[in-house]
Every structure is written in structure tokens, then in C-alpha cells.
Chains A and B, each alone.
Chain A
Amino acid sequence: MLLRYVVRRLVLMIPVAFGVTLLVFFSIHLVPGDPALSFLGDRATPAAVAALRHNWALDRPLPVQYWLFLSRLAHGNLGRSLFYQSSTMGLLSRHVVVTLLLLLYGAVGAVLFSIPLAALATIRPGGLADHAVRIIGMVGIGMPSFWVGIILIILFGLVVPVFPVAGYGDTWPAHLWALVLPGATIAVSIAPMLVRSLRASLIEALGSDFVAFARAKGVTPARVFVRYGLRNAAISAVNVLGVNIGFLVGGTVVIENVFALPGLGTLMVHSVLDRDFPVVQGITLVFAMLVVVVYLLTDIAHALLDPRVQLS
């Protein structure tokens, strides 16, 4: 049953991804600006621009270009980046991994921050701790992430040099170590959203009837918290993170800039700014699939965690 649900959702993904790439394709070609000009820079002569546009098939009608894109896609080829002059797929795969790892660190860090904070806030809703937690949360969202990032670099890369100041490193252990500070920065900005919903669902869960019943039966508060509180916490955490994935992936662009990470956010913004069409198309497609998969996983996790929910 689960399998059928998953398959059905994945199949539904195809028209959605298709629709998205179509939209992006036409809109980016309608946007003013010319990648040939961007590429040739200040030595762009009219002859070179025309020749380059021809090489890149940009002088063909839009539907023809879209067809070329689709037929390449059918062979698993995402085309060549106009600027890097190499395979879009290769470029994307490296950058996607960096961003996904970053988000993973961020999500884990956020959850680790949020649970104790939310628990603290629910001890007495409306009390001092509750308001303090809310204020901390607002600071996390409100202070720009580049500010938080630079402070962390100064503290843990310079004053107490535990982590590298920036960069991605060139071996896997180096990669994982280098992602700690940027991951923490992301965690600080996600955590407030988590704390809010965790707090809300904790209060609801802990105030519910069967918890009162469990307490009456003599189950310790700690066990109550773990069995009922945490499970609800997990559900809402999964929900919040999943729903915001779209916002998050682009939002990493600032962190990637500060920490010099070759991530998807940066690639996304630069390729749009440069009008590197194949890369924009590739990113949009990959992103659309990523979002659908994340939503699917969110729904499945939700269903597994919350017996009240049924997958329709």
C-alpha cells in the first residue's frame, strides 16, 4: 500500500517537473539580457556576439530550443554550461551535494537547538522562559545570516581556531569539518521556526486527554515527554522543515557566499544573473524533483509517526 502510494506520487511528479521546466525555459528567455554579452565581457564585438549566439543555438526559435533541451534530457544529458563550457550534470552534482549536506547539518543542528528550547518554553507557557525563548528565536531569524556567519568565523576560526575560516576543503573529512560552522549558521536561522511549532505541538500534546490519563496512571513526566511530546515534536519538525525546503535551498546562497562553499544556491543565483540557460534549466529540474521527493518523504514520515494520519 505504501509502495503504491510512493509510486503514484513519483509518477505525478513528472507532469509537475515538466510544467516547471517549461515555465522557467520561457521566462528566462523572455528576460532581457544576453549570455553571449555576459560571456564576452567588455571585449564583446557585435561580430563575436552574433557568432556566439549562433554556436549556442540562441538564434533559433524558442520552441526549437525547448525541443533540443527535451531531446537531450531524454538521453540523460542536461546540456553544457555556457560559461563553464562543461557538462551541466557534472557541475550540478557537485554543487547539489554541498547544499544538501549543508541543509542536513542545518536541520540536525536546528533540531538539537530547538528541542531543549521548546521544552524550556513549555514548562510554563506564558512564563519568563517562554518569552526569553521567543526573543532568542526572533534574534535567530532577524539577524542577517551573513552577520551570524562572520561572528562564528571570528569566534571559532580566528579567536579559537578550531574550524577553517572558509572553503570546502579537498578531502571528505575536510569537507565534513568545514561544513560545521556554516551548518550552525543555518541552524540558527531555521531553529526559530522549529521552536515555534515544536512549542505549539508540545503544549497541545502534553495538554491532551491521553497524556492526562497516562500521568494519572503514574507514568513519569519524563517518559510522558519522550513518548508523547517528542513524537509530536518530530512530526511538526518534519512538517516545518519539509514545507520550507524551497525557501531554504535558495536561502543558502548567503551562507555559501560567506563561507565560500560551492553550493547550489550560489550556482542558482549566478546562472540566472549570467543567463547561463542550460544551468538554469538543469537546476530548476533538479530542484523540482528534490522538492517533490522531500514532500513525499515528509508525508511518509508524517504517516509513520502519526497513527492518525492516513495516506490518501
Chain B
Amino acid sequence: MGGAPRRKIGLTALLAAAALALGAQSGRAAGAPARGGTLVFARTGDILTLDPTQMTDNESIWTAENIYDTLYVASPDGKTLEPWLATGYTLSPDHLTWTFHLRKEVRFQNGRPMTSADVKFSIERVAAKASNPFAFINAAIASIDTPGPYTLVIRTKYPWAPLLADVALFANGVIPANYGGETEAQFFRHPIGTGPFMVKSWAKGSEVQLVANPYYWQKGKPYLAGVTFLSVPNDNTRRLQLQSGQVQVDEFPPFSMVSELNHMPGVRMTLFPSSRTDFLAFNEQHKPFADIHVRRAISYALNREAMVKAVLFGHGEPANAIISPALWGYDPNSPGIQYDLAKAKAELAQSSVPHGFSTTLIVGSGASTEALLGQIVQAELKPLGINVTLRQVDPNSEYTDIQNGKYDIAFNYDTTDIIDPDELISFSAMGGTTGQQTHALFTNYDNPEVDHWAEQAERTFDEARRHQLYDEVQVQVAKDAPLAFLYYSPFAYAYSRKVQGFDVYPTGNYHLEDVWLSH
């Protein structure tokens, strides 16, 4: 229905993303890096664990990515993978055997050299227990062999294109084989990795202190002597800490503060493109959401620009696809439904409930944007004759209800931990018993064509073909509207102008070995 407007949205998003990424990198150009100093970060919460195979919260993950390394890492623009602990790999013609060549001068934070045995041990830990949160990411791996100290051979059960991206996941971060002779519990009290920083102390509930790794394999880095992560849940407090100089980085200031922070002397405010997409999810097992016209009608009735203005204060983009523009595989032409009240009424007229109906929207408490969004949705669906009752519950109950299919409509979102679309698509678009069995983000959407394309994309190694398959998935999902795509939002960071080289990747993490403090 008119390609031009939608292409514009996608292109704007891409251009914005590029501009922001460039803008962020310009910080690196400010003279030669100075050494020393401790970077103090104020973040919204504390870390929960230092074990890479057990972490699910962002704070733990983004901290761990500076302590442990993986074989490959995402590039700063989030579109490709770069060799890191590995220098390269070869793939067998049948696509089942990956042979990685490891970097030779890598040493752990206690000086011990890293070998393939350590990598094998670390990767095998990830799926060792069924209860491990990221066990699914290594599901395709059949076996790992170490024919030499710097050679690692991974054999997969079936041809698996996302393997390189999977191996780059933080959970596959390398620790010493057999915990370096300690027990697991002992090891994680003072864990070591090969990354630029090592753990000095962790005061639970308040702060984590890291110090520079003297044996770090990238010579000359890290520039900083240490990093301290403070847990400061209150938005106002983080801002005041930045203003007073108590901290140099403020993680996630609320979007309402962005323009103010832009004008604060000595402070730089950057919006980094993220992989986050927010949705309004429909439960197709509850009437009348199995009716595609109802879903499309509701989606047409949502004024995304107004939501971006009210919730993100303009710092975001209406979404047109299930994948964010910051990721490889994003289709700028994906026909995600945008605001059009006339079309909304037309769709509803064709549906099973042309005069409207009543429904309940669960919103999570605490996260005030959901309550806000919920009230906007409530007001915007009224003209269609759809009466929305808001039911506010605590986030845990909300999540449980969503997972157990006990909801009509609810807010949900997706991000990705790897730069391959596979993780996101397998959780959010694949239904039935395919994918991760999460029934397309718990909407109970199930389109066998979509499942088929997604599975094919997992097994195909031709990049162009994969891109084509993911395009088809996105177009179909946009048409079927199991989710109303709401908006893409960036990662907001405010930091002192003294902080140089700070860059946040679309997966949310940051490479602190590139950061230095100017005087």
C-alpha cells in the first residue's frame, strides 16, 4: 500500500542510526589517548552474577563482556562479526565442521596462557544444565574437539548459519578450564577471564569495581586504570551524580531529560541505536484476536508518532518491522502498519466484531512507560468502539500471565543478544513447536510459511539468500500483524565530555578497553 512513505521511515532510521554512530565515534578523534584514571558509571541496577552462563540481566551481561572474551565479537555497527580470540576459521564443504584458529598471545588475568582447552570448557558449560538461561544458543553444537592448543573444532548437528554469531554471545565467554583448579563456587568469588578488566570487588547491592588487566592481549589497552559500576536506581540521582562529577557516565537517563542534558555544560548526551523494538501483543487464543482484521484494525488505530512524542519525547522512530534497523537483516520495506484511523475502521468493519468489543490490557507496574502507553492505547482505541480496561500488575505476574497465555493484549518488546536475526525471529515469530517454543512471543501466532522460511534461513549460508528469506518473514509478519509494532528506541547515555572513545553497540554492550579520560 504505497511503498514510498514506508521506505522513508526505514531510511530515516538508518540515516539517523548512521549519524549517531558517527557522532559517537567522533569522540575518539580528540587527540592521543591518555592513560590512567577510573571511570565511574552510574547504572540503573546492580549485577546479579559473575558467571557468564547464568546471567540474564543487562547489568551483569555488559559488565561480563569487559571481563571475559569470546572467539568473535560484533562490529561497532552491529552488522558483522570480527575475529577476537580467534584469528579466523574455516568451514567444511558440508557446513558441519567449523575449525577455529586461536590467537596465540592471549593470557588470563592471572598471567596463565589461554589455550583451546579453556575455550572448549567454557563453551560446553553454557548448555551443561537444562536450566541455564542460554543453553538454547549452543543447541546446534554436537561436539567440540581440541586437536591442538590453538585449534578448536566445533561440529554441528545440522548446517547452522548463525553459529558464528552464537559463539560471539557473552555466555560463551572464556574462563580457565576446570576453573583453574578451584571449585566452581570458589572460582566465581574471584573470577578471571581474558578481557581488559578484572574484578577487584563486588559489594552486593551497591557497586562493582574492576581494575585493568595487565596481561591483556591488545597491547597498549586498556587505557583506564579501572572502572566502577554503581547501582543507582533513581533517575534524578544519577543525573545529579553526573552533574556533581561523582560519576562520569549516566546510564539511561529518562527521555524527558534528554534535551536538558544536551545543554548541560561539560556533558555529552548520545542516543545510540539499539536492537529494541516495542510491541503491543495480541493473544490469538482469546477472542476476537484470532481474527486478522481485528488485529490489523487495532494496529491502524495506534498513533505511533504520538506515542514516540509522549513516551520517548521524540527520541525514537515508529516501527515498521519486527526487526530493528540497527540489525543486519532489517527490511526497510517491511509493510508494518502505521496510523490510519480510516483504515482502522474499514478493517474492523470487515471483522467478526464490527461494532467494537471490550478487552483488558495488562500493564506492568513500576515501569511507568507501560502505564503511560496503556492509557494512550486506551484512548486511541475508543473511537473504534473498543473498550480497553487497564489491569496493572507487578512485572513478574505480568510476565507469568503472558507466558501462560492468560491475557488479551499486553505490551512486550524484543532485543537481541547476538547480531544474527535468528535469536530474535526464533523467539518472536516462530510458532507451534518450531523455534524456541515460545509461540511467537506468546501470541500463539503460527504461520507455517514463516516457520519454514525462518528454518531455511538457519540452514542457508548464502548471505543474499538469507537476507531474502528474512525479508519474506518480515513482510508476512507485518501483514499478519500478530504484534502491533510500536516504535524503535535508542540507548540513551549522558556522560562527561572528558570521556573519550565511549561507544555503545546495538546489543547494548560497550568495549571499555577503547575508553580513556581526557584531562
Contacts and interface: CB of A to CB of B under 8 A. Distances in A.
Interface of A: 31-35, 37-52, 54-55, 83-86, 90-91, 94-95, 146, 150, 153-154, 157-158, 161, 164-168, 170, 257-262, 266-267, 273-275
Contacts of A50: 130
Nearest to B56: A41
B377 to A, nearest CB: 21
A52 B437 CA distance: 17
B396 A257 contact: no
Interface of B: 42, 46, 48-49, 51, 54, 56-57, 129-136, 201, 203-207, 209, 230-234, 236-237, 240-241, 243-244, 246, 366, 394-397, 399-401, 403, 413-415, 417, 427, 436-438
A38 B237 contact: no
Contacts of B438: 44-46
Contact of A34 (B234, B400, B437): B400
Contacts of A45: 136, 436-438
A158 B57 contact: no
Nearest to B134: A43
A128 B230 CA distance: 47
Contact of B399 (A37, A51, A52): A37
Contacts of A258: 234, 236-237
A42 B399 CA distance: 9
B136 A94 contact: no
Contact of A46 (B49, B207, B437): B437
Contacts of B54: 85
Contact of B234 (A38, A48, A83, A260): A260
B400 A33 contact: yes
Contacts of B134: 43
Contacts of A31: 397
B246 A164 contact: yes
B372 to A, nearest CB: 19
A129 to B, nearest CB: 35
B395 A273 contact: yes
Nearest to A259: B237
Given A153-B237, A167-B232, A39 B133 contact: yes
A51 B131 contact: yes
A191 to B, nearest CB: 23
A274 B413 CA distance: 19
A153 B397 CA distance: 35
A167 B207 contact: yes
B232 A158 contact: no
Contacts of B129: 51, 55
B240 A153 contact: yes
A43 B400 contact: no
